[in-house]
Structure 1
């Protein structure tokens, strides 16, 4: 009986604690931090850029799922070079304007990080959240940038 009550109290205590927030970071190879965005469990962000040939905006949207970076969906306004839906990887749905969303991708990003080489401002690679818009192209055009979801810094 005591053991059961003890477990119940421990479970109640643990659920009352705030979830550990992760940070989405963008850093250069030398460790220079370009951006740090608090990204609690369940929060999402998109990486947007203009297609280098067609010029329209493309977006890949991610979510923090229990500390993992997961690609959720992608918006592609056209079937231009380098774009397209792969059967079995999410569902292609019309956006009603000639383009399409690929929904329900649910693909964990290996290591919760990837390298991106932002283009010039004509391409304008950006990380966008509900309240921030960070242009990696303005901060580090043509540089190698590591985008990573990692445990938050403690102050």
Structure 2
């Protein structure tokens, strides 16, 4: 390879920063068995959804891949029902125009880029949604420990 071509290839490789932040969103059972896998490049967003156990409405916590880190960015809570509240200083609360609210600008990195969730069974239906694809964690692993993690492509 000529020197000019090598320089061009090096410049091309250095201009692709997304390679360092590419990732995979992975939900696994405690045994390590995969339940769901989504490609999650830099800037990708996904939500964990579930239905409130008393009121039955859908609640959402939404995350983003920021520089290879899992960051909680916003939540939607359609009501001020039991167990749902905004913590002052953690994002900003705005009306959703239908009696509920959004908590925006949370921008909180998830420690270790992973957490454990115990999906509720039945009507609670914990789900993982990215784009138009949705996987029911409750259907796959009701009441089991499920780890949701953003991992690098080399893991």
Report the TM-score when normalising by structure 1: 0.89
1:56-75 map, 5 Å: 56-75=57-76
SS in 2 for 1:133: strand
3-state SS of paired residue (2:150): strand
Match of 2:142 in 1: 141
Bigger drift between 19-28 and 72-81 goes to 19-28
Shift of 1:16: 3.8
Counterparts in 2 of 1:16 and 1:66: CA distance versus 1, 3 Å:
closer
Distance 1:13 1:152, change over 3 A: closer
Matched ranges for 1:98-117 at <5 A? 98-117=99-118
Contact 1:38/1:152, CA 8 A, preserved across alignment:
no
Mean Cα deviation higher: 86-95 or 7-16: 7-16
Find out whether 1:15 has 2:15 as its counterpart: yes
Verify the 8 A CA contact 1:63 1:71 in the aligned structure 2.
yes
Deviation of 1:19 (Å): 2.3
Q: Distance in 1 between matches of 2:72 and 2:48?
A: 11
| Cα deviation digits, residues 19-77 of structure 1 (max 9, x gap) | 24200000111111111110000000000000111111100000000100000000001
Query: Structure 1 residue 40 and structure 2 residue 45: aligned?
Result: no
Q: Secondary structure at the match of 1:86?
A: coil
TM-score, with structure 2 as normaliser: 0.89
Is the 2:86–2:103 contact (alpha carbons within 8 Å) kept by the matching residues of 1? yes
Runs of 4+ in structure 1 over 4 Å off: 7-12
SS of the aligned residue for 2:82 comes to coil
Distance 1:123 1:77 in 2: 15
- Pairwise CA distance, 1:17: 6.4
Shifted more, 8-17 versus 137-146: the winner is 8-17
Query: Structure 2: which 5+ residue stretches go unaligned?
Result: 1-6
Q: Structure 1, unaligned stretches of length 5 or more?
A: 1-6
